[in-house]
Amino acid sequence: MRVATDYICPRCGGDIPNAVYKGRYPGALSRTDNETEICSDCGSLEAMEQFACGRCRDQSEWSGNR
């Protein structure tokens, strides 16, 4: 069973999948490892980063990991 802390995005600290539907359905999978669940906004941001820069920010650079 998931607990409330499972619905916090490790990339930005926001709610998964978003603030309106926190915990109601899964978020996005991070492109860094295809395992880590992140919020929908971060999922979109990673897609744009990969398209524009050819790579996503490494998990060690995420603000939620500090």
* Widest distance between CA atoms in the chain: 38
pLDDT tens sequence across 9-18: 999 999 999 9
Q: What are the extents of the domains in the chain?
A: 4-54
CA dihedral 17→32→47→36, nearest 10 degrees, is: -10
pTM (two decimals)? 0.87
pLDDT tens sequence across 17-27: 999 999 999 99
